[in-house]
Amino acid sequence: MRGDYPDPAHFPTENVLCARYGVSRFTVREALRSLQTDGLIQRKRGSGTVIQPAAARGGALHQPLSNVGEILQYARDTKYLFTTQGTTLLPKKLAGHIGANACGRWFHFRGLRMRESPSEPIALTDAYIHPDFAAAAREIRPNEDTIFRQLERLAAVKIATVTQDIQAVPASGLVAAELGIPRRSPCLRILRCYLDANGNILEISASYHPGSRFAYTMHIEVEK
């Protein structure tokens, strides 16, 4: 941003930008999405687009992840470079989180999430598919779609709910090595459980974000 607009000022509307630059609404929306991903603006339903104060931007990825649509948008705006790790028991901490549903050997994927432009990784993610869907999990491929969307298609299931637990944790030796940060550096761990309409867990994932590279954004509507 060149400083044409003071922060925290309102950014021009989509219609104004289309007219000013002679481009389509799709082009403008893609540009705004890129600015939001970089933490330069904040888009709020009903109140327009606001330029983020410089002090709030830093170098982190500012990402809203408060519904499935925003999780999917996050996946589209970044790349998850994962590999298949085979089947394994759930780690004790994850197993303890979901209780009785943790039995059996889960199909394991591990990878780094990156921005589209070359940069340091913004997350290390371990994803685990429930043992009941091992056959479908073996057909999941990198660079095609999100893991849970591929699982829905391959196993003919439908994810109805995603629960999300967020906790500050120190980076383990493995996490630190993968992310290129000192051991025990502060990380934001986002633990997600993907469930069907009956409450059965289909997938569980744990993502570790270095504190300096990721900021979680949540929009809360005030009841009137």
Sequence-distant (≥ 6) Cβ neighbours of residue 22 within 8 angstroms: none
Domains by residue range for the chain, with CATH: 14-57 (1.10.10.10), 61-217 (3.40.1410.10)
Tens digits of residue pLDDT in 123-147: 999 999 999 999 999 999 987 788 9
Distance separating alpha carbons of residues 14 and 24, to the nearest angstrom: 9
> What mean pLDDT comes out for the span 157-178?
92
Tens digits of residue pLDDT in 68-99: 555 545 555 678 889 999 999 999 888 887 77
Tens digits of residue pLDDT in 19-69: 888 888 888 887 777 676 555 666 666 556 766 544 344 444 444 445 555
Tens digits of residue pLDDT in 98-108: 776 788 999 99
Residue 59: predicted pLDDT: 46
118 band by pLDDT with thresholds 50, 70 and 90: low
Asked whether 32 and 56 are in contact (CB, 8 A), the reply is no
111 band by pLDDT with thresholds 50, 70 and 90: very high
Q: Which of residues 103 and 179 earns the better pLDDT score?
A: 179
Strand extents, DSSP E, the chain: 41-44, 48-51, 61-64, 78-88, 106-115, 123-129, 161-170, 186-195, 201-210, 214-217
Residue 169: predicted pLDDT: 93
Residue 7: predicted pLDDT: 46
What's the mean per-residue pLDDT of the chain? 79
DSSP notation for 83-149: EEEEEEPPPHHHHHHHGGGG-SPEEEEEEEEEESSS---SEEEEEEE-GGGHHHHTT--TTTS-HHH
